C-alpha cells in the first residue's frame, strides 16, 4: 500500500510539473497557425489591390515576396525548419521530471532511509513510549479521554503540562484534579502558578485566592507566601509587601534557593534593612548583589529555572559531602517547594542514610517531612 501511494503521488507531481511544458507547446502551435492564416489573408488582399489598380506591379511583387518570406518562417517555426528540436527539448525535460527525479529520491531513501524497518503505528508507539515525552503525554491524554474521572491522572499530567509550557492545558488539568480529588496545598499552588504564568506574571484575584487557600492548608509554604507577597507589591501596597517578603526571608533556611529572588523583591520594595538583618554569615552560597539584580529582571519561567538549578547544585554537593545536616534539611524543603515530591523523598532517604532516623538529627528530618506533607514510607529503610 505504501509503494502504491508513493507511485500515485509521484505520477501526480510529474503531471503537475510537465503540464506547463505541454501546454506551452500546444499554445505555440496554435499561435503559428493563426499567423499563417493572417499572412495568407494579406496575400489575398494584396492580389485584390493589384487587380483594382490600387498598387503597382513592382510594389506588389516586393510586398508579395516579404509576406511570403514571413509565411514560410512561421510555417516552419523560428530558426527550426521542422520544429523537432523544440519537441526534443521538451521530451528531455519531461523525462527528467518523470523518471530521473523519482529515481534519485528512491536511491536516496534506500541509502539513507530504513526500508526494512517494520511498521510502527501510533498504537504500538503509545504502548512503548520509552523516554519520548510527547508520546508519554499522548498516552496519558488517551487514557484520560477514556477515563475523564481519573483524578490521579489529571494530577500527574497537570505539572507536566506546566513544564512543557502548555498553560491552558495545565489549568484545565489542575481544575479537573481539584474537582475530582478535592483541594490541597499542592494542587492549589500549582493552579495559582499556572494562572500567574498565563497572565504574564500578574497575580490575578483568582490566583491570589488559590495561594491564600494553599497557605491556610499548609502554613509556611514559601511558594504560596511569595506569590501572596508579590500580589501586594503589584497592588502598590509596598509596606505590606515588604513585610511579607521580609517574613519569608526570616523563616527561610540558610542557603535556600529562593533567597535571591526574595531579596530582589525586598530591595524593590525598599527593604534593604530587612535584607541586612536576615543575612546569615554561616550560610553557604549566599546570592551576590549581581544575583539579586539579575533575579529582579527575570521572567517567571527564568526564575523557576534559576531556582531549580540552585537546588540541583545543592543536591550534587550533598552527594559528595553527605555529612551536612543543614544541607539535607534545605534540600528536602526546596524540593517540596518546587512541587517535586519524588526528589523530596529521594533527598529525605539520602539524608537519613547520613543521619539515621534513631538519632536527633534524623528525627528532625522526619519531622520536617511530616510538616511538608512528604510521605516518608520507605525512606527509613
**What is the reported pLDDT for 340?**
82
pLDDT of residue 283: 39
Which backbone phi and psi does 267 adopt, to 5 degrees?
A: -65, -40
Count Cβ atoms below 10 Å from residue 42 Cβ, excluding itself. Answer: 16
Using one digit for the tens of pLDDT, what is the confidence trace for 239-262?
A: 898 899 888 888 887 777 788 888
- pLDDT grade, residue 53 (50/70/90)? confident
- Who contacts 338 (Cβ-Cβ below 8 Å, separation ≥6)? 307, 308, 311
> Which residue did the predictor score with more confidence, 4 or 81?
4
pLDDT of residue 79: 47
**pTM, full prediction:** 0.45
Task: Indicate if the pLDDT at residue 298 is higher than 80.
Answer: no
pLDDT band at 84 (very low <50, low <70, confident <90, very high): low
pLDDT of 126 higher than 60: no
Q: In the block, which residue shows the cell 481544575?
A: 175
CA 337-339-345 angle, to 5 degrees, is 90
Q: What percent of the chain has pLDDT over 70?
A: 70
The pLDDT confidence band at residue 142, using thresholds 50, 70 and 90, is confident
In a domain, 313, yes or no: no
Over residues 279-304, the mean pLDDT reads 52
In a domain, 52, yes or no: yes
Q: How far apart are CA 21 and CA 23, in angstroms?
A: 5
Q: Is residue 184 part of a domain?
A: no
Residue 46 lies in a domain: yes
The angle that helices 185-198 and 222-234 make with each other, rounded to 10 degrees, is 40
> What is the total count of domains within the chain?
1
Contact predicate 376/348, CB 8 Å? yes
Name the one residue in this structure whose C-alpha cell is 507531481. Answer: 13
Provide the grid cell at 236.
Answer: 502598590
Mean pLDDT of 85-107: 67
CA 135 to chain centre: 15
Q: Three-class SS of residue 118?
A: coil
pLDDT band of 33, cuts 50, 70, 90: low
Domain range for 105: 2-112
Most trustworthy range by pLDDT among 12-21, 127-136, 221-230: 221-230
**Residue 296 pLDDT:** 53
The dihedral over CA atoms of 158, 160, 163, 168, expressed in degrees to the nearest 10, equals -40
Assigned domain for 103 exists: yes
Check whether 15 has a pLDDT greater than 80.
Answer: no
Residue 97 has pLDDT above 80, yes or no: no
Q: What are the E-state strand segments in the chain?
A: none
User: pLDDT at position 121, please?
Assistant: 56
Given a contact cutoff of 8 angstroms between Cβ atoms, the answer to whether 225 and 205 are in contact is: no
Average pLDDT (63-85) is 64
For residue 95, being part of any structural domain is answered with yes
Q: Grid coordinates in use for 373?
A: 506533607
Domain assignment present for 73? yes
CA angle (291, 292, 298) in 5-degree steps: 85
Q: Which residues are CB-contacts of 252 (< 8 A; sequence separation ≥ 6)?
A: 222, 258, 259, 262
Better pLDDT: 108 or 229: 229
pLDDT band of residue 226 (cuts 50, 70, 90) is very high
End-to-end Cα spacing for the chain:
57
pLDDT grade, residue 284 (50/70/90)? very low
Q: In Å, how far are 50, 64, 65, 70, 138 from 61, measured between CA atoms?
A: 10, 5, 6, 14, 86
- Give the tens place of pLDDT for each residue, 330-365: 888 888 877 788 888 888 888 888 888 888 888 888
Q: Does 190 fall in a domain?
A: no
Amino acid at each position: 500500500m505504501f509503494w502504491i501511494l508513493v507511485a500515485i503521488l509521484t505520477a501526480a507531481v510529474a503531471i503537475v510539473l510537465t503540464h506547463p511544458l505541454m501546454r506551452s507547446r500546444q499554445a505555440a502551435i496554435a499561435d503559428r497557425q493563426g499567423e499563417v492564416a493572417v499572412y495568407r489573408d494579406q496575400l489575398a488582399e494584396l492580389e485584390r489591390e493589384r487587380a483594382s489598380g490600387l498598387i503597382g506591379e513592382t510594389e506588389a511583387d516586393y510586398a508579395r515576396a516579404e509576406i511570403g518570406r514571413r509565411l514560410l518562417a512561421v510555417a516552419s517555426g523560428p530558426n527550426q525548419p521542422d520544429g523537432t528540436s523544440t519537441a526534443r527539448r521538451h521530451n528531455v525535460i519531461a523525462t527528467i521530471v518523470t523518471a530521473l527525479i523519482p529515481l534519485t529520491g528512491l536511491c536516496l531513501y534506500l541509502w539513507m532511509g530504513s526500508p526494512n524497518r517494520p511498521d510502527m503505528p501510533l498504537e504500538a508507539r503509545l504502548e512503548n513510549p520509552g523516554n519520548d515525552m510527547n508520546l508519554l503525554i499522548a498516552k496519558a491524554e488517551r487514557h484520560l479521554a477514556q477515563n475523564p474521572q481519573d483524578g490521579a491522572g489529571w494530577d500527574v499530567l497537570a505539572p507536566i503540562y506546566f513544564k512543557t509550557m502548555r498553560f491552558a492545558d495545565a489549568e484545565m488539568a489542575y481544575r479537573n484534579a481539584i474537582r475530582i480529588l478535592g483541594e490541597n496545598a499542592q494542587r492549589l499552588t500549582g493552579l495559582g502558578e499556572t494562572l500567574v504564568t498565563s497572565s504574564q506574571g500578574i497575580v490575578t484575584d483568582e490566583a491570589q485566592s488559590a495561594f491564600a487557600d494553599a497557605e491556610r492548608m499548609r502554613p509556611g509554604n514559601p511558594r504560596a507566601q511569595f506569590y501572596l507577597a508579590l500580589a501586594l507589591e503589584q497592588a502598590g501596597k509596598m509596606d505590606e509587601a515588604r513585610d511579607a517578603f521580609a517574613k519569608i526571608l526570616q523563616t527561610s533556611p540558610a542557603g535556600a534557593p529562593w533567597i535571591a529572588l526574595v531579596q530582589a523583591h525586598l530591595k524593590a520594595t525598599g527593604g534593604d534593612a530587612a535584607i541586612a538583618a536576615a543575612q546569615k554569615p554561616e550560610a553557604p552560597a549566599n546570592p551576590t548583589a549581581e544575583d539579586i539584580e539579575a533575579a529582579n529582571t527575570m521572567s517567571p519561567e527564568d526564575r523557576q529555572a534559576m531556582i531549580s538549578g540552585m537546588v540541583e547544585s545543592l543536591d550534587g554537593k550533598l552527594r559528595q559531602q553527605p555529612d551536612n545536616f543543614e544541607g539535607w534539611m534545605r534540600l528536602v524543603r526546596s524540593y517540596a517547594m518546587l512541587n517535586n515530591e519524588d526528589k523530596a523523598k529521594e533527598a529525605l532517604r539520602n539524608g537519613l542514610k547520613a543521619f539515621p532516623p534513631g538519632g536527633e538529627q534524623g528525627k528532625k528530618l522526619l519531622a520536617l517531612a511530616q510538616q511538608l506533607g512528604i510521605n516518608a514510607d520507605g525512606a527509613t529503610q
